[in-house]
Structure 1
C-alpha cells in the first residue's frame, strides 16, 4: 500500500469521492436496505448514548440533573431497542414524524408570509410553505415510500458529491504535479 495514500490531499479526495460514489450507487440500487442499515446504525448510536447517559446519571457530579440524564438514558435505550430490532417500523415512524414537522413548519411559514409586512418576496416564502406542506402530507400518507425516497435522495447526493471529490482530487493533482507555464514567452 502506498504510504502517501492517507497523507496526500489529492489521493484522500479521490478516495473520499470513490467511497461516496460506491455508497451512492448502493443507496440508489438498494434503498430499502440502505434505510434499514441507517436505522440500525442510528439504533446502535442511540444505545451507546443511552448507556452513557445512564452511567452519567449514576455517577455523582455537580453538573446537571441526574434524574434528567436517567430519563433521557432510558428513552434512548428504548428507542435504540426499536431501531435495532425493528428498523423498518422505526424508519416509517421517523418519516411520519418528519412529515408532521414539515406540515407544521409549512403552516407557520404561510402564516408568517401573511402576517409580516416587511417580507419582500412574500411569494417565495409562500412557495416554500407550500412545498413543506405538500412534502409533509406525502411523508405522513406514505411513510414507507418516503423513507425509500429519502434513501434514494441520500444516494443521489452522495453520488454527486463523490464525483465532485474525484474530479477535484485529480484537478488538484494536475495542478501540483505539472510545471507552471512561463508567464510571458520571450519573442523570437
Structure 2
C-alpha cells in the first residue's frame, strides 16, 4: 500500500477522533445546549417519519386510511412541530412527548405483529416494540433528566470513540502479511 495513502488515512482517522472528542466534551460540559440541538434534529426526523406514516395511511388497501398509520403520522407531526418551533421549551418536555410517542409506537408495533401478515419473523418486532414502550414510560416519568442524560451519554460515547480513532491513527501499523493479501499464491 502507498505510504501517502496510509498517511492520508491516518490523518482522516485522527481528525475524526479529534472532532469526536471535542464534540463529546462539548456535549458533556453543555448538556442542555446539546439537548436542544438534539431536540431539533429529532424534530426533523419525527417530521419525516410522520409524513411517511401518513403516506402509508392513505395508501392502505380498499382506499381507506389505516388508523394505526394515521395515528402514528399525526403523533409524529405534533411532536415534530413542537420540537422544531419551540426547542427550548421542548428540550425539557420533549422527553415526555417522545415517551408518549414511543409508547404509542411500541403498542402499535406489538399489535401489528399479531394482526398483520409479516414478511419477517414476529420475534424480530416484539423486542423493539417492548423496548419502545419501556423507554417511553421511563422518559415520561423523568422528563428533563432523560434529555440531559441522553446528551451526556452521547458525549461520553463520542469521547470514547474519538479516543479509539486517535489511538488507531497514532499507533504504528503492521504491514499486512502475504497470507492476508493473497500474495505468494
Interval containing the TM-score (normalised by the shorter chain): 0.5 to 0.7
Question: What is the match of residue 22 of structure 1?
Answer: 22
Whether 1:39 and 2:39 are equivalent positions in the alignment is yes
Distance (whole Å) between structure 2 residues aligned to residue 21 and residue 149 of structure 1: 18
User: 1:21-78 CA deviation, whole Å, 9 max, x = no partner?
Assistant: 121122133222111000000000000110111112222458xx72211111111001
Cα separation, partners in 2 of 1:61 and 1:12, compared to 1, 3 Å: farther
Whether 1:175 and 2:173 are equivalent positions in the alignment is yes
Counting only pairs closer than 5 Å after superposition, residues 137-156 of structure 1 correspond to structure 2 as 139=142, 143=144, 147-156=147-156
Instruction: Find the structure with the greater CA-based Rg.
Output: 1
Tell me if the contact between 1:24 and 1:156 (Cα under 8 Å) persists in the aligned partners: yes
Question: What is the match of residue 58 of structure 1?
Answer: 58
Distance (whole Å) between structure 1 residues aligned to residue 72 and residue 164 of structure 2: 40
Distance (whole Å) between structure 1 residues aligned to residue 32 and residue 81 of structure 2: 20
Task: Output the aligned Cα RMSD.
Answer: 3.6
TM-score, normalising length from structure 1?
A: 0.55
Gaps (5+ residues) in structure 1? 100-134, 180-188
| Runs of at least 4 residues off by over 6 Å | none
Gaps (5+ residues) in structure 2? 100-137, 178-185
Q: Which moved more, 1:11-20 or 1:72-81?
A: 11-20
CA apart distance, 1:81: 0.9
Cα separation, partners in 2 of 1:53 and 1:146, compared to 1, 3 Å: closer
> Which secondary structure does the structure 1 equivalent of 2:174 belong to?
helix
Cα separation, partners in 2 of 1:86 and 1:4, compared to 1, 3 Å: farther
The count of corresponding residues between Structure 1 and Structure 2 is 132
Cα separation, partners in 2 of 1:54 and 1:4, compared to 1, 3 Å: farther
Cα separation, partners in 2 of 1:96 and 1:70, compared to 1, 3 Å: closer
Tell me if the contact between 2:79 and 2:98 (Cα under 8 Å) persists in the aligned partners: no
Distance (whole Å) between structure 2 residues aligned to residue 45 and residue 164 of structure 1: 29
User: 1:135-179 CA deviation, whole Å, 9 max, x = no partner?
Assistant: 99x946xx3x553344234323311221122102322xx223699
Tell me if the contact between 1:98 and 1:139 (Cα under 8 Å) persists in the aligned partners: no
